[in-house]
Structure 1
Amino acid sequence: MDLKKLAGTAGQYLTRAVQYTEEKLGNAEKTEFDSHYETLVAQSDNAKLWTEKLVAGVQAVVIPNPGNRVEDMLFEKLEKRRPNRLSNLEHLGLDMVQAGTEFGTGTAYGSALLKVGGAEQRLGLAERDFVGCSISDFMEPLQKFLDSDMKTIARERRILDNRRLDLDAAKSRLRKARSLDAQQAAEAELRRCQAEFDRQTEITKLLLEGVRSTQASHLKHLQAYVAAQAAYHHTAHTIMADLTRDLHSMAGEPPSPLPYSPTAPPH
């Protein structure tokens, strides 16, 4: 172990802690970031906040059961894939098919249960496709943005905060220097800290400025989510329209249209 390096690191942490404490107590000056940087930070924080809300919101829609969400997360970590569970619609469809078989195809109720059960299973498959597309085309890309881009920005912002503490600590040492040698050493340290602060400021600004450019890709992911949702509802409407027609036909009744058709919007 390099004890000298370890001691230097510990000393740096202590210096930052002292500087931070003095600032909080109002006993030390603090270098303020420029307004452009503060604006970028506010925009980045806003993007992070709303992206987290969107991911959580879509997750609540496509995986409403909190227990399933936890199970999915653990399963993905261990098996590197999502569990292939039946949806509630598919379970209902299976029960209806089994009930219809028990009651017999020779009964009106048994035949109807078989028809409805098959439709519920197809609805479940359509729902599963929608859930899968929502996760892969919307949730996962946005979560990747949070786990990659936003975490990188957070790390660089922490580094910049440390560079700022180092810079202000160097300014404080220069003000307190009395001998010529101490002043020269403090000035050299201040120049180094200022250069590192300026460099880290530019790095962090570049990353922050890139946040807005991600909206174009996020828009495409949003469009993919809407397309998947529209496809699901179109498929579901078709399944239910066919089922309604079949049930009326089995009962010897004239066909009755569904109360809403996507081709003829209600007034």
Structure 2
Amino acid sequence: MNINLPNFNVKNLVKEAGSTISRVVQLTEEKLGTTERTEYDLHFQNLAERADVTKTWTEKLVRDTESVLIPNPQNRVEDFIFEKIEKSKPKRLSNLEHLALDMIEAGGDFGQDLPYGQALIKAGQAEQKLGQCEHDFIATSGICFTQPLRKFLDGEMKTIGKERGILESKRLDLDACKNRVKKARSMLGQQSAERDLRVAQAEFDRQSEITKLLLDGISTSQASHLRHLHAFIQTQVRYYKQCGDVMEQLQRELAKLSLWPNARRLTRTICTESRA
């Protein structure tokens, strides 16, 4: 019976294992302070620091925005899972909509022909409208703000993190080669070490340029984030205006009911007593 085994390149495996060990040794010696290390230039350090700050704050902004849009942590987790498996989110009633249903049902039981029953039904219908406004606000905010920021974190920032990791590996390889050159005792060994050093230096320089280009791109990303922020604020303005319109309309409808004048006098009396 023929068994097809994967074709392993033994030389590559040995080389990779050797590189890993060399990096571990180099990193350990650096932490112990027994060897020197190549420091990144100031411009690169500033870019890297800005990238770290951008990642940290973007993650926090996304979490904070989502906690405002969907206060229930369990619902946020559920929505996240459905997004990952690319399925539609479950249609759940908001607290406003639960209140609306109870108001309408209570109004029906109290009597649709009575002022209080009518008022409850009208208030419940208004709460339903507010609930729909809330659903629209959450959906639009996700599209215009949180989703683009999450895409940035899952795309650009992950790529930057990966390339920075590769660069650090190249830096460790470079410094390990520098140490081998210093420790070479024979002319042949020194020539071999210097050849490895030139290769390591070239790979480090190339990866450094790649990483710098990606880090520089964060400025462009932040310009996009600014547009997303404007869109989110506009969505909020529209949402609160819609809610205000609904409540003003409810006030006008309640004012027509015979109970409403008494309710207004009662409200003023309660507020006066509270201040006293």
The question of a shared fold, defined as TM-score above 0.5 by the shorter chain, is answered with: yes
How many pairs are equivalent? 256
Q: Residue type matched to 2:174 in 1?
A: L
Measured at CA, do residues 32 and 79 of structure 1 come closer, stay the same or move farther in structure 2, by a change above 3 Å? closer
1:65-92 CA-to-partner distances (Å, cap 9, x unmatched) read: 0111111112222343322212111111
Gaps of 5+ in 2: 1-7, 266-276
* In structure 1, distance between residues paired with 2:133 and 2:57: 29
1:190-227 CA-to-partner distances (Å, cap 9, x unmatched) read: 00000000000000000000001111111111111111
> Paired residue for 1:11?
18
Q: Which of residues 237, 241, 254 is equivalent to 2:244?
A: 237
Helix, strand or coil at the partner of 1:250: coil
1:20 and 2:27 matched = yes
Aligned-pair identity in percent equals: 53
Contact 2:107 2:117 in 1 (8 A): yes
Q: Residue type matched to 1:226 in 2?
A: I
Q: Which of residues 71, 95, 111 is equivalent to 2:102?
A: 95
> Paired residue for 2:190?
183
TM-score by length of 2: 0.89
Contact 2:70 2:76 in 1 (8 A): yes
Offset at residue 8 of structure 1 (A): 1.3
Match runs of 1:21-100 below 5 Å: 21-100=28-107
> Paired residue for 2:212?
205
Contact 2:174 2:200 in 1 (8 A): yes
Q: Residue type matched to 1:87 in 2?
A: S
TM-score by length of 1: 0.92
Measured at CA, do residues 178 and 231 of structure 1 come closer, stay the same or move farther in structure 2, by a change above 3 Å? same
> Paired residue for 1:217?
224
* In structure 2, distance between residues paired with 1:149 and 1:79: 21
Gaps of 5+ in 1: 257-267
Higher deviation after alignment, 104-113 or 191-200: 104-113
Calculate the aligned-residue CA RMSD, in Å: 1.5
* In structure 2, distance between residues paired with 1:235 and 1:174: 72
Higher deviation after alignment, 16-25 or 82-91: 82-91
* In structure 2, distance between residues paired with 1:171 and 1:79: 50
Q: Residue type matched to 2:141 in 1?
A: S
Higher deviation after alignment, 21-30 or 102-111: 102-111
Offset at residue 253 of structure 1 (A): 5.6
**Segments ≥4 residues shifted beyond 3 Å:** 252-256
Q: Which of residues 113, 137, 160 is equivalent to 1:153?
A: 160
